[in-house]
Amino acid sequence: MPMSKYESDAQLVKRVLKGDQQAFALLLERYKDAIYNLCYRMLGSPQEAEDASQETFLRLYASLGNYDSKRKFSTWALRIATNYCIDRLRRRHQGSVSLDTMPQDQEENSEPLIATLVSDELLPEEQLLRGEQSDEIERALQKLSPLYRTVLVLRYVEELSLDEIAEVLDIPVATVKTRLHRGREALRKALQQVEQSEHEEAADRQRMAGVSG
Amino acid sequence: MNCSQVRALLQAYVDGDLSPLARLRIGEHVQRCTSCAQYLGELEEEVEELAHLPKVSAGTSFTHEVMSRLPQATPWSAGSQEGSTLSSRRSWRWPLAAVAGVVAVLAGTAFLPSGPSFASVSGEGNIFHKQDAVAVPANTVVSGDLLVEGLPVYIQGSVRGDIYTIGAPIYLSPQAHVRQIVKVQTPIQRVVCRLRGWSDQGASWLLGR
């Protein structure tokens, strides 16, 4: 394909604003996977990720008139997606508090109620996708508070630099670093818990097998 | 460096965020200290696993589904677009038509019943009210409440009061400032009455219903 065929994000946005709706489809094709990955790792289920990604693009479209072409389109899109996912997680969290009598978790020692609301059952195609290791890390990730999860996902799933994360979240780089440090520490602890509970389950199964056999 | 000093720096070490000298010191310590080495190993493994989480893809029909859900009307502010370049396709005529249909509500309350849909602002502020959408454009402040029934609402500016909607989707731009959105089941005129302390009859009279 000749180089002149490639249109920048800003050019596509301009076309949409002038009434060419098809140009929005090109933007969608460009960024749907990045947005879907973010939503999937933030929310933990394919159905919710699909829903949240669609909502992100609808919001993006509705506010396209405000897009500042001096900024990167990808950063702006990720920002809308991130804010939406965090809102969703908070709503989920609030909802569970009224149903549950469990104590409110603290930011520091986060084993959120969210974790209890995420189904452990995997769809067959997901089971195929996931190795055992990534399964553990995914479960651990879902145990983190939204703020920590956000920086980890932006850093390692979206592969953004610290500066880019700062821009997406509209916070200073120093804050990004602090959250990243705490997030990794929280994830380390969550991983240990996940591994421990798996060992216990395995031991239980063995005992059961011993009793019945 | 002792263990607690090293632990405090290991996170920055993983980010490659330390001076060469500090890296050297930590490297030396980790070679001697098994517990710090284990800690660092865990951190590095965790980062490795995060970076290698399988990439997932949106479904093949994703683009089509989003495109089919795009609103008919768009609220992009007429001010920033040159009107002459707007295409004549129905969905894009909105900004032009909005100029004709601009509802300037100043100091007071206005009701604009139009068929089954309805929009009202209390206090000061400009809203765009068209047959198929209501918008609070960028850089616009509505000082009071906004009540909308049966129309999509696009908010780019600020609404200082509450927003009441019934049967109406609401879209907020990232720049939007809103205090509270209340999705009501009650017919809007009853909400108006409750807010203003009027009787229901007053509202139906006002609305001509």
- Interval B43-52: pLDDT, tens: 999 999 999 9
> Would an 8 Å CB–CB cutoff place A189 in contact with chain B?
no
Contact between A92 and A117 under an 8 Å Cβ cutoff? The reply is: yes
Q: Which domain, by its residues, includes A93?
A: 7-212
CATH number for A200:
1.10.1740.10
Local confidence pLDDT in tens for the 213 residues of chain A: 444 478 999 999 999 998 888 899 999 999 999 999 999 999 999 999 999 999 999 999 998 988 988 899 999 999 999 999 999 998 886 654 433 333 333 333 333 333 333 344 445 555 554 556 678 899 999 999 999 999 999 999 999 999 999 999 999 999 999 999 999 999 999 999 988 888 888 888 888 887 665
What is the C-alpha separation between B136 and B111, in angstroms, rounded? 16
Tell me the pLDDT tens digit for each residue of B101-142.
334 333 233 444 434 566 777 666 777 777 677 888 888 888
Which DSSP letter does residue B82 get?
-
Give how far B65 is from chain A: nearest CA, Å: 8
Question: Both B103 and B20 in a single domain?
Answer: no
Cβ–Cβ of A181/B58 closer than 8 Å?
A: no
Give how far A170 is from chain B: nearest CA, Å: 12
A2 domain-assigned: no
Question: Both B113 and B35 in a single domain?
Answer: no
Count of domains in chain B?
A: 2
Question: Both B203 and B102 in a single domain?
Answer: yes
B90 domain-assigned: no
Question: What's chain A's Rg over C-alpha atoms?
Answer: 20
A122 domain-assigned: yes
- ipTM given for this complex: 0.75
pTM for the full predicted model: 0.60
Q: Which domain, by its residues, includes B43?
A: 3-51
A41 domain-assigned: yes
Q: How confident is the model at residue B197 (pLDDT cuts 50, 70, 90)?
A: low
Q: How confident is the model at residue B71 (pLDDT cuts 50, 70, 90)?
A: confident
A186 domain-assigned: yes
Q: Name which residue leads in pLDDT, A114 or B177.
A: B177
Interface of A with B in 66-95 (CB under 8 A): 66, 76, 79-80, 83
Residue A83's pLDDT is: 95
B119 domain-assigned: yes
